[in-house]
Amino acid sequence: MKAENKEKIKSKTQKNSSINKQLKKELEKFYSAVEQTADAVFFTDINGIIQYVNPAFEQLTGFSKKEVLGKTPRIIKSGLQSAKHYKKLWTTILSGKSFRNVVVNRKKNGELFYADHTITPIKNTDGSITHFVGIWKDITKQKLSEMRKDQFISIAGHELKNPVTNIKLYNQLLQTHFLKKKDKKALYFLTNIDSQTDKLIKLINDLLDIEKIKVGKLSLTKELFRFDHLLNRIILDFQYANDNHEIIKKGESKLKVYADKDRIGQVLINLISNALKYSPFAEKIIVYVEEKDKNIIVGVQDFGIGIEESEKKKIFEPFYRSKSLDGKGFPGLGIGLHIAAEIVDLHNGKIWVQSKPEKGSTFYFSLPCKIK
């Protein structure tokens, strides 16, 4: 080997060893920093072999340092994560990014635990990945209580559906009976019972829809229809039932959509009823419709309480209600928008909101069209 090359290799080796020493120092600093944290922390080398675990890791998993050092986190695997999960995890971390999700793992005693799991690659000064750091935040208690809540909602929803449907049926029979007798007072009471029962049925259906969304079973029954016809009918129904606001329609669409008419109707009803509910002192709401690049775009504008910037995404999450509603007596459970977003998504459309607090909001959604 030429002397010049030998020199080059020597200097490279020296440089690498100084980088490694520096890295070792940095890692040691890191280890001591996470020694006392409440979340379980582990470090692996580039091959996924565990180099370090903190006391919280031992406490959570039941495995001692000795038992896990030199092994892969696989010994804690529950086998409940899909191959897809691992593929996504490795592609993300090898591209240099952090990966975060919820995992279910198994302790040494066989018990399962849920963890909010983040794994982050650690890079050398030259940008190459040398280690991975994993953090598991134990969320078992929260997850189990969520599961119990879901189960309760599901059972309650199914158990309530039959009796409430029967109440509606008997109420209708009574209405026919008192109509024949021309008893106006009884008819007035029965109409009220009917509209309250409708509210209850909607609530039960919404809760059951949330359950379907969770398990990916919200299905669509599609048909071809003129979007405008559906929209006009819904606006007319709202206008008939509301004296406080004028509902103005702007624009029109001649497009036919291949979509689930009832579900799209559900989205429109949710947006319009929210617009009415959250603008109690306004006199009008405006419903826009236009065609854009083979999409129908609908906008429902109100001049009401509006939404803070920080909450614009959160309001599409299940059971989220804006903080500004506290103590103001607006009824609701915070599930309608979540269902609407899911329905729009199932149709490959998009839903979004533009809003300013105290000025009002416009909720938009797009719906791709098939045929004119």
Helix %, strand %, coil % for the chain, to 5?
50, 25, 30
Q: Which residue has the tokens 């071809």?
A: 224
Residues 241-270, one symbol each (x = binds ligand ADP by CB under 6 A, - = not), give -----------------------------x
| CB of 6 or CB of 313, closer to ligand ADP | 313
Q: How large is the C-alpha radius of gyration of the chain?
A: 29
Q: Which residues, other chains included, contact 63 with Cβ-Cβ below 8 Å and sequence gap of 6+?
A: 53, 57, 75, 76, 107, 108
Angle at alpha carbon of residue 182, lines to 176 and 185, rounded to 5°: 95
Site for ligand ADP in 324-343 (CB under 6 A): 325, 332-338
Answer positive or negative: Cα dihedral of 136, 140, 145, 147: positive
Instruction: Considering only the stretches 84-92, 195-203, 244-252, 299-307, report the one whose residues sit in contact with ligand ADP under the rule CB under 6 A.
Output: 299-307
CA 4 to CA 255: how far, in whole Å?
75
H or E stretch covering 219: none
301 binds ligand ADP (CB under 6 A): no
The residue whose Cβ lies closest to ligand ADP is 332
- What is the smallest separation between the CB atom of 176 and ligand ADP, expressed in angstroms? 33
61 binds ligand ADP (CB under 6 A): no
- What is the smallest separation between the CB atom of 348 and ligand ADP, expressed in angstroms? 21
321 binds ligand ADP (CB under 6 A): yes
Phi, psi of 120 (to 5 degrees): -125, 135
- What is the smallest separation between the CB atom of 307 and ligand ADP, expressed in angstroms? 5
- For residue 138, give both structure tokens: 């134990």
CA 60 to CA 41: how far, in whole Å?
10
99 binds ligand ADP (CB under 6 A): no
- Return the SS3 of 46: coil
Q: Which of 266, 274, 295, 366 binds ligand ADP (CB under 6 A)?
A: 274
71 binds ligand ADP (CB under 6 A): no
286 binds ligand ADP (CB under 6 A): no
Q: Which of 34, 41, 231, 307 binds ligand ADP (CB under 6 A)?
A: 307
- Return the SS3 of 190: helix
- What is the smallest separation between the CB atom of 285 and ligand ADP, expressed in angstroms? 9
276 binds ligand ADP (CB under 6 A): no
357 binds ligand ADP (CB under 6 A): no
- What is the smallest separation between the CB atom of 134 and ligand ADP, expressed in angstroms? 35
- For residue 150, give both structure tokens: 């879901």
365 binds ligand ADP (CB under 6 A): no
- What is the smallest separation between the CB atom of 235 and ligand ADP, expressed in angstroms? 16
CA 204 to CA 211: how far, in whole Å?
11
- Return the SS3 of 311: helix
Q: Which of 93, 275, 287, 296 binds ligand ADP (CB under 6 A)?
A: 275
* Binding footprint of ligand ADP on the chain (CB under 6 A): 270, 274-275, 278, 302, 304-307, 315, 321-322, 325, 332-338, 361
